[in-house]
Amino acid sequence: MTTNGQQKRPQIRKKDLSLWQLSYIPEIIKGMFLTFKQILRPKFTRQYPEEHWTPPSSYRGRPVLVEEDGVERCVACGLCARVCPALAIEVQASETEELAKERYPERFEINMLRCIFCGFCEEACPEEAIVMSNEYELVFSNQEDAIFGKEKLLMTTEQLKERLEFLKESR
């Protein structure tokens, strides 16, 4: 017995093999049967564009801004922009009288060509206002399209329910 509890296989030496075994024919036949059996087994392929994969809540998809009661949670503190290792986030803060909060992001842009999906912005955010969604399909035809503004980043709390709950549990 080895340390990991598995039975050590007896060592096979070439001199102990019979001529029939040395011809490799029995092993080849064994292998052929094995591969033939695989033909009859179910397939693993996912027909991707038709059959969409929903990632688990721990998945770090594209970062989005949380929208609660029609307004983003973000208070434009700029911590996400500061912590972002790829310098992908740009926040322009502004003051407001109408909302419950005093500051709000006038402009919030993430360059999705720079984003490395590390999730630091999510960790740094004191308001839980920027989180990683479960979306992974990011296609653009030019560089301008890759800069996501607020209109593309906002997502309601209902849409992000699973991720927010996951964050509550893991923090």
Partner 1 sequence: MEFFIISVIKIVIVLLIILTVVANLVYVERKVSAAIQNRIGPNRVGPWGLLQSPADVLKLFIKEDIVPSTANPFIHSLAPVISISVALVTFAVVPFGGSVELFGHQVKLMIADVNIGVLYILALTSLGVYGVTLSGWSSNNKYSLLGGLRAAAQLISYELSLGLSIIGVVMISGSLELDRIVEMQSGFQWNAFLTPIGFITFIVASFAETNRLPFDLPEAEPELVGGYHTEYSGMKFGTFFLAEYANMITASSLIVTLFLGGWQFPFLETFGLPAMMATVVQVLTFVTKVAFVLFFFIWIRWTIPRFRYDQLMNLGWKVMLPLALVNLVITGGLILAGLF
Q: What is the 3-state secondary structure (H, E, C) of the chain?
A: CCCCCCCCCCCCCHHHCCHHHHCCHHHHHHHHHHHHHHHHCCCCCCCCCCCCCCCCCCCCCCEEEEEECCEECCCCCCHHHHHCCCCCEEEEEEECCCCCCCEEEEEEEEECCCCCCCCHHHHHCCCCCEEECCCCCCCCCCCHHHEECHHHHEEECCCCHHHHHHHHHHC
Give yes or no for residue 35 binding partner 1 (CB under 8 A): yes
Among 5, 10, 42, 56, binds partner 1 (CB under 8 A): 42
Among 45, 54, 142, 170, binds partner 1 (CB under 8 A): 45
Among 7, 44, 98, 142, binds partner 1 (CB under 8 A): 44
Among 17, 32, 116, 138, binds partner 1 (CB under 8 A): 32
Residue 30 CB, nearest distance to partner 1 (Å)? 10
Give yes or no for residue 31 binding partner 1 (CB under 8 A): yes
Residue 14 CB, nearest distance to partner 1 (Å)? 14
Residue 31 CB, nearest distance to partner 1 (Å)? 5
Give yes or no for residue 38 binding partner 1 (CB under 8 A): yes
Applying CB under 8 A, which residues contact partner 1? 28, 31-32, 34-36, 38-39, 41-45, 47
